[in-house]
Structure formats: structure tokens, C-alpha cells
Amino acid sequence: MSRAHIRLLDRRGHEINPRKVDWSKEHSDSYTFRQDRGTQNSLGSLRISMPNKHDVYMHDTPKKKLFARVYRFLSHGCVRVEGVYDLAAWLLEGAPGSPTGHWDQATITQKIADGERDDVRLAHAVPVIWVYLTGWASADGTVHFRNDIYGMDKEAMLRPGRAEQRYSSYTNPR
């Protein structure tokens, strides 16, 4: 944990020495594992939070070479974004708090280099819809299939109607 710059916190947010925890008796969900900011952080230097019950967000990565891979399912549910600074500048258009009066890649980069966490609220809400497809047809009628790496197809099959309900709630908000 120390090599990865990860600290162990109790439920009140106090740091604990992980060597003093009897892991044979304790449950890991009793603790928070927090990785420090910096170049080693697996989320990179920028996180784009969105309200959702699964705590899924978009983020940078210090391992930019991962974007060149064909197989990119290396995250644990959140989404690494190639060009995250460009996306952040677009999202922050018109948002208050920029030291230069507007948010662009250079301003965001400088803000991060200052080393202090800054949560910036968007000027306008931006809807985000996650689409997970393991099968689809292209315009020419070719049917494509991909591996179901998250096991969502099996979940949908075990609960008939659930996938359709999820889809209809996104396409026909009530």
C-alpha cells in the first residue's frame, strides 16, 4: 500500500496503520482505501464526477499508452477518457472559478499543477448516458457481437424485462 501511495482510513476518516489491522477478523468494507494525488494515482490528475448511485465517473490516467490497446477493459467500472482535458474544458465552458476568466486546457493544467484539489461546478447540466452493447447491427446489416466482460447479458437474462425497463427509462423519461 505504501508503494502505491494508498492510505487506510477508518469510517471517521482517520488514517490507520494497515499493519495494525487483523485482516483475518476485519472486513475491508469497514475501511476506505485512498490513493494520494500525484503522478502515481491510477485516476490520473483529473476526475469528472457525475451524480449516479454506482459512483461511476470519468477520469484521466497516468498510463496513456493504455489508449493504444485494442483491449481496454482494465478499469473497475469507471471510465478512462482519452483527451480528458479537452472534455473538461468543454464541460467547464462558462463555469465560475477560473483564474483566467475562462477554462481551457492550459488553465486546467495550471490549476492541477498548483497541487490543491478544486471541485468546480458546471454552469449547465450535461446529460450522460452510458450504453453497454454486446451485440448490434451496423448500417449495412452486419451483426456484431463482443464479449460480455461485465456480465450484464447474464443479469438481463436472469431478470426478464429488466433491461427493457432500463432502456425505456432512458428513452422515455417520466
- Residues with catalytic function: 59, 78
How far is it, in rounded angstroms, from Cα 115 to Cα 168? 43
**Could you say which DSSP state residue 36 is in?**
P
Give the separation between CA 167 and CA 38, rounded to whole angstroms. Answer: 38
Euclidean distance between CA atoms 37 and 5, whole angstroms: 9
| 3-state SS class at 156 | helix
Strands 15-16 and 58-59: unpaired
What are the two backbone dihedrals, phi and then psi, of residue 79, each rounded to the nearest 5 degrees?
Answer: -120, 115
